[in-house]
Amino acid sequence: MINLLKRVHYYYFLLIVLLFFVFFYPFYYLAARKPAWYGFLNQLRALNSLACSIFTGVFFRFTYEEKPARSQHYIYCGNHTSNLDIMIFCLLAKGKFSFMGKDELLKNPVLKIFFNTIDIPVNRDSKMSSFRAFKRAGDNLRQGMSLIIFPEGRIDMGQYPPVMAAFKNGPFRLAIETGTPIVPVSVTDAWKKLWDDGARYGSRPGICDIYVHKPVYTENMKADDADQLKDTIFDLINSKVIKK
């Protein structure tokens, strides 16, 4: 019975996401036409995420060690277990920000409008693609635009409950090169409400807890510190992740 209810909720969840995307699409299309309007585009994404949250009964509770300053741009690093993570970070980040994600999202009917404009697609199997993606991200950071990235680079579908995978080096080298502070974010239990895209286990309403660590500053670090920084961020995020 529980599995049936989760399956029903999953299809209801998909319907709500689709309906609100169709409603917001004309506004997305207009706001995505000019980089100067990207701040408004992100406000629309946050409003869309909030609407989906309310209508599906999946809510997000943020606990802050130190609230990120609105006047500062950051690299937000979080663990990745669910498509809810996109909604979570749209609500968390403020101002101008972009996601970096796999280039397969260029084919996603909902997300491709963003990955063709504000967001940054990357093929991690291609050195040239990775170089271009991180160069673009670096240029954005220098212009005061935050970056949202999942350093694991993927969701491990073979682990349920999820176990964090090793982080890629790129975000941490980029943080040091640009002097950008990192905000580690522990998405502690979103996978319990929606595992990956929900196709296997369904979804259910409830509250997802997100722990936002205080920023880790990088302006006094050198390139050789990237591995240590990566380990520090991994340990911080993993310390709050619920395993069961």
Summarised one tens digit per residue, pLDDT across range 59-104 is: 999 999 999 998 999 999 999 888 899 999 999 999 999 999 998 8
pLDDT tens-digit map of 5-39:
899 999 999 999 999 999 999 999 999 999 999 99
> Exposed/middle/buried for 130, CB within 10 Å: 0-12, 13-18, 19+?
middle
Angle, CA of 242, 243 and 244, to the nearest 5°: 100
**Token output for 41:** 């585009």
Residue ranges of domains in the chain: 2-238
What CATH number does domain 2-238 carry, 2.40.128, 3.40.1130, 3.40.640, 2.60.120?
3.40.1130
Q: Does the pTM of the predicted model rise above 0.85?
A: yes
User: What span, in angstroms and rounded, lies between the C-alpha atoms of 144 and 151?
Assistant: 21
Pairing of strands 182-187, 206-212: antiparallel
What percent of the chain is predicted at pLDDT more than 70? 93
Residue 133 token pair: 């993606």
What's the CA angle centered on 59, arms 55 and 60, to 5 degrees? 145
Q: Which two tokens stand for residue 57?
A: 């009964």
